[in-house]
């Protein structure tokens, strides 16, 4: 018999979802009695159906709307050092199949069987985001497993962001293994060089998820001028410079991010072909139109306008506005790339508002390509949230 506590589904809940791979259990699906509520956030329990049949080993946090997350389909499994090492080794082996350099997302949360845990790798350094209570409590053990399995020497814990707040976790930022990087780390992708600030940048310091979409954008470049809106550290702009663009304009609200974009262009020997503009993206889109600026390729990769369902309607309006304003900046026969990293906006909704925005911008377009994140960001089919990234590329008349 297990010595772990039990958390039980209500009679009207559907255990089939768990049996078929859905990894979350919500508060209204469980019997939240005194014993369940006494489980420490991040503790482990056996999930049972209403008939008291064991379903899985779960981690519990009654402070969250997601009360339980499936850790292992085997109720007898135990999350210890060996278990963590096996999960990380499995994730690492898959990345090494696709990437010949150690720069990638090493762990993509539920899709890699480590719910709420994100780890990005930057050579000998790894940045982990423990966005679930169990991962925050076991951060040191996870770091040990990273050192043992991936061979990294530095592990940074970036405990910031909206997801931690939903779990009731405080913000924290610290180096838990090795020493903090003293300078941004150069990362080569698609022939471009990016600078990742692991200690002060957004998220983990760099967005690996757009790598395949950067590559597609490169295929659209035939010299000419390109515009990268919401550019962060120059993701699309630097990629298109590497593909031969005569000039790239990167626009972002963050001065430090734009400084990193300049640093990346300098490392590529392309600083003289990069223009940076700092300001609110919507205002800058309107200003560029007023200045009669036109570009061969325009890419818009905004932050999540609809991070959750309550924000969906407003978020879709914002995506439509981006499409409308950006379409006016594309030369006839040029290309427009639109991206969304919103969990709540599915591809169909995003495609519809993008097409409507292009039409309201007075343009007509052909949809050439729909993209998503690369294989280092695998999708768990049962959990739509793991496939958050969407990109659309249009040719405009």
Would you name the residues annotated as active-site residues? 341
Cα 392 to Cα 355: distance, rounded to the nearest angstrom: 10
Count of helices and strands (H, E) across the chain:
12, 19
Strands (DSSP E) found in 208-348 = 225-229, 247-252, 274-278, 295-300, 330-340
| CB atoms near residue 30 (< 10 Å) | 20
Residue closest to 395 by CA, chosen among 363, 372, 373, 348 = 363
The CA distances from residue 32 to 26, 36, 65, 329, in Å, are 11, 6, 12, 54
Cα 351 to Cα 225: distance, rounded to the nearest angstrom: 25
> Residue 230's Cα: distance from chain center in Å?
15
Helices 312-327 and 347-360 cross at an angle (nearest 10°) of 40
The CA distances from residue 172 to 176, 199, 204, 254, 356, in Å, are 11, 12, 13, 22, 41
Residue linked to tokens 């990437």: 99
């Amino acid at each position: 018999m297990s010595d772990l506590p039990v958390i039980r589904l209500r009679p009207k809940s559907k255990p089939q979802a768990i049996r078929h791979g859905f990894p979350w259990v919500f508060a209204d699906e469980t019997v939240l009695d005194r014993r369940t509520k006494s489980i420490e956030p991040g503790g482990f329990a056996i999930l049972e159906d209403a008939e008291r049949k064991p379903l899985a080993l779960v981690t519990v946090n009654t402070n969250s709307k997601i009360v339980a997350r499936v850790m292992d389909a085997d109720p007898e499994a135990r999350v210890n050092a060996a278990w963590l090492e096996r999960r990380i080794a499995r994730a690492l082996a898959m990345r090494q199949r696709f990437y010949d350099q150690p720069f990638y997302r090493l762990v993509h949360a539920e899709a890699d069987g480590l719910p709420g845990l994100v780890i990005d790798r930057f050579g000998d350094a790894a940045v982990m985001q423990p966005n679930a209570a169990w991962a925050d409590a076991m951060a040191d053990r996870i770091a040990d497993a990273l050192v043992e399995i991936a061979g990294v020497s530095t592990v940074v814990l970036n405990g910031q962001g909206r997801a931690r707040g939903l779990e009731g976790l405080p913000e924290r930022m610290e180096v838990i293994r090795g020493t903090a990087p003293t300078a941004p780390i150069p990362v080569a992708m698609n022939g471009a060089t990016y600078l990742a600030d692991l200690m002060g940048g957004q998220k983990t310091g760099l967005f690996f998820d757009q790598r395949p979409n950067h590559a597609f954008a490169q295929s659209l470049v035939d010299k000419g001028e390109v515009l990268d809106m919401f550019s962060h550290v120059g993701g699309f702009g630097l990629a298109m410079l590497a593909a031969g663009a005569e000039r790239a304009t990167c626009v972002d609200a963050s001065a430090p991010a734009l400084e990193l974009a300049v640093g990346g262009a300098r490392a590529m020997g392309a600083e003289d072909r990069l223009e940076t503009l700092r300001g609110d993206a919507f205002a800058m889109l309107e200003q560029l139109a007023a200045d009669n600026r036109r570009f061969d390729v325009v890419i818009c990769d905004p932050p999540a306008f609809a991070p959750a369902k309550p924000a969906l309607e407003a978020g879709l309006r914002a995506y439509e506005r981006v499409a409308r304003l950006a379409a006016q900046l594309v030369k006839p026969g040029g290309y427009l790339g639109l991206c969304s990293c919103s969990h709540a906006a599915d591809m169909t909704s995003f495609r519809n508002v993008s097409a409507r925005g292009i039409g309201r911008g007075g343009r007509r377009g052909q949809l050439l390509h729909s993209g998503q994140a690369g294989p280092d960001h695998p999708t768990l089919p049962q959990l739509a949230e793991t496939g958050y990234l969407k990109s659309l590329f249009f040719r405009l008349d």
